[in-house]
Structure 1
């Protein structure tokens, strides 16, 4: 007896706000697949109704029931059913449940078909103008407690932009914590992306920490602290300066006088010359 072929799991990106932001391919898959798994079935039902996709079997997959529901969905896939996995908004698994389902499906030899779409992460980055040539660090939602946030943020490299998601009811407190942990930094606030009250603003953490009200989901891009310009003395120049210090000492000049002369001669800060004189 031949083994029944397994089903297909479609991982489908959906709009993050504006219902027009969906691909033709995603709509085709949604229309032709009878079982749809989503973190919030209310959101996907609204989308299906808007595009006339017909009645579907909807399965909610939120954090508290993720493991239990995953095994229910895997059973359907192993019976040969086709299933769509969507997020409440955006691309599945980007700070949303579903990773366990996709990994288990891979492990069991079930075919995975990605149907990409919009993401708040890429949307905010592309609208910010941030130079991403050296990379960035995406953290999703930070832990709720400040002590846990501190652990995460203080152990990161300092030379990459940081991107976080945050909900409106937590943003006021998170902004204050970010300012305390990271110091004041330039940042890009992307709020209510693709919606009527969309806000795209370059600001800083100090300003955000003083803001009293945030409405709508937030994507925040935090730039690294600007590097203070260091002007290290070139070895060759350093040797010449040290020689000049000895010469001026023999002439009986005071440190202040020597520093002024050498700073002018070598076009370097007086402070650096003082340091060299003090080092002997």
Structure 2
């Protein structure tokens, strides 16, 4: 006789607004046998709201390894278990990785139910490119380690997402300003889906000084979203330089145009001459195509 295992359901729970729970999640929570919960009180509130009565197994960072074995045994007895975190999507900066991995190794089916996630919700409303991003969780508590992490990410081209706490936000912003510079764009999303929800977009420099002077309230759960590193093109010419070149080349040779413009704008003559030659060739090509 083939032994049948139960299923592990990964169920996302609301990160603030209880109405964000999905119909499917409620349906599954009513059907499963056990709930593995990171926070007993929060889970009980959710269950009571939707009139669900289930056995809850404590499952947090301090007992994750021990209780993974316990839950695997339950699943192997053809019982179904739902994994829920304190809030949001389980395993995303929350316990559950070991349990999910063990389920795969034991050929136990893992079924994810999509739902709330603070990082993704904040990213979608950030106004910062979201086609490529990296999630770094919470920055380290100690400043030395925090700066080490930021230095490693300084040249990361993808959008960067951090979680941060209210009592560390000012220190972290100071470190971010030091390592990333003042001009990168950044979004600070606070209390997503809750009554005091706030999503602000600005430069790192402006955010730091607003927080430093207490003009923004440092409360609630915070998501930091920082634009990725963009390599500066030192050879890129400004509108003013291009205008000067355009005027002078109508009266002078390309070499003299480049020479005079280089002295006016304090820029290398060779770069200007190369630009003029390239533009001249492009213009000739366009005429031939017409």
Length-normalised TM-score, structure 2: 0.78
* C-alpha distance 263-183 of structure 1, shift in aligned 2 (>3 A): closer
Query: What is the rounded CA distance, in whole Å, between the counterparts of 1:270 and 1:24 in structure 2?
Result: 65
CA shift, 1:144, in A, is 1.8
- The 8 Å contact of residues 11 and 113 in structure 1, kept in 2 or not, is answered as yes
CA shift, 1:3, in A, is 4.4
1:72-91 matched pairs, under 5 angstroms? 72-91=70-89
**Deviation string for 1:213-241 (max 9, x for gaps)?**
411111111113555443369xxxxxxxx
Query: What is the rounded CA distance, in whole Å, between the counterparts of 1:123 and 1:232 in structure 2?
Result: 36
Q: Aligned pairs, how many?
A: 253
Residue in 1 that maps onto 2:267? 271
Query: What is the rounded CA distance, in whole Å, between the counterparts of 2:270 and 2:233 in structure 1?
Result: 19
1:104-119 matched pairs, under 5 angstroms? 104-119=102-117
Residue in 1 that maps onto 2:62? 64
CA shift, 1:205, in A, is 2.6
CA shift, 1:149, in A, is 2.3
Query: What is the rounded CA distance, in whole Å, between the counterparts of 2:116 and 2:51 in structure 1?
Result: 21
Pair 1:220 & 2:227 matched: no
- The 8 Å contact of residues 13 and 115 in structure 1, kept in 2 or not, is answered as yes
Residue in 1 that maps onto 2:138? 141
> What are structure 2's unaligned runs of at least 5 residues?
238-252, 274-290
CA shift, 1:269, in A, is 4.3
CA shift, 1:78, in A, is 1.4
CA shift, 1:180, in A, is 2.0
The DSSP-based 3-state class of the residue aligned with 1:27 is helix
Residue in 2 that maps onto 1:45? 44
Residue in 2 that maps onto 1:126? 124
Query: What is the rounded CA distance, in whole Å, between the counterparts of 2:139 and 2:258 in structure 1?
Result: 54
Residue in 2 that maps onto 1:98? 96
CA shift, 1:72, in A, is 1.3
Query: What is the rounded CA distance, in whole Å, between the counterparts of 2:158 and 2:62 in structure 1?
Result: 33
* C-alpha distance 80-128 of structure 1, shift in aligned 2 (>3 A): same
CA shift, 1:142, in A, is 1.8
The DSSP-based 3-state class of the residue aligned with 1:159 is coil
The DSSP-based 3-state class of the residue aligned with 2:35 is strand
The DSSP-based 3-state class of the residue aligned with 1:20 is helix
Residue in 2 that maps onto 1:231? 235
- The 8 Å contact of residues 187 and 222 in structure 1, kept in 2 or not, is answered as yes
- The 8 Å contact of residues 190 and 201 in structure 1, kept in 2 or not, is answered as yes
CA shift, 1:46, in A, is 0.8
Query: What is the rounded CA distance, in whole Å, between the counterparts of 1:62 and 1:38 in structure 2?
Result: 7
Of the three residues 174, 183, 188, the one matched with 2:181 is 183
- The 8 Å contact of residues 106 and 112 in structure 1, kept in 2 or not, is answered as yes
* C-alpha distance 82-33 of structure 1, shift in aligned 2 (>3 A): same
Length-normalised TM-score, structure 1: 0.81
**Deviation string for 1:11-37 (max 9, x for gaps)?**
111111100001111110111113111
Pair 1:4 & 2:23 matched: no
